[in-house]
Amino acid sequence: MGKKILLGVTGSVAAYKAAELLRLFVKNGDEVRVVMTPAACEFIAPLTFQTLSRNPVAVDQFAQPAEWKPEHISLAEWADLALVAPATANTIAKMAYGIADNLLTATLLATKAQTVVAPAMNDGMWSAPATLENIEKLRSRGVLVMSPREGDLACGRRGLGRMPEPKEIFEELK
């Protein structure tokens, strides 16, 4: 209770689940700041997260920062925990290779906070050798990677790749 949680939301249809996850943390007394990738904004509006968190939502890497520091640095230093939920294969790959081409990946590269990812992707993407290598690379650096769940996927298939349910993520991190 009372933790400072940076919630990274990426471009997956599972982004709608991040709103419920945020609500659970706020209800627990945690302060949550949300950083969305531009692709995430195609699935859910920043206003949803702003309303639920009662904090501005960061999306634009080149927006005028509220503080004197660049926003990715102030967010990175602020967080007790960095949680990426949902974490797409694209963002996981960027994290594994240190690519910081958006506000979220730049913030994750700069933070010293414990980082957790909750993957969400098609089963073929999850089982791809490149993704599995990226997951192992992140784990070797101390990133906690939650296992995706089996079930109905947005692509119409059934398989391993669903993001864990918000309540599961919350309970594991609590």
Q: What is the pLDDT of residue 127?
A: 92
Provide the annotated active-site residues. 155
Number of domains the chain is built from? 1
Q: Is 92 exposed, middle or buried (0-12, 13-18, 19+ CB in 10 A)?
A: buried
What percent of the chain has pLDDT above 90?
Answer: 77
Other residues' Cβ atoms within 10 Å of the Cβ of residue 61: 19
Report the SS3 class of residue 52.
Answer: helix
Q: What is the pLDDT of residue 1?
A: 67
Mean pLDDT in residue range 121-132: 94
Statement: residue 67 has pLDDT above 80: no
Complete edge-to-edge strand list for the sheet that includes strand 4-9: 57-58, 31-36, 4-9, 81-87, 114-119, 144-145
Statement: residue 40 has pLDDT above 80: yes
Q: What is the pLDDT of residue 157?
A: 83
CATH number, domain containing residue 54: 3.40.50.1950
By residue range, what is the domain housing residue 30? 4-173
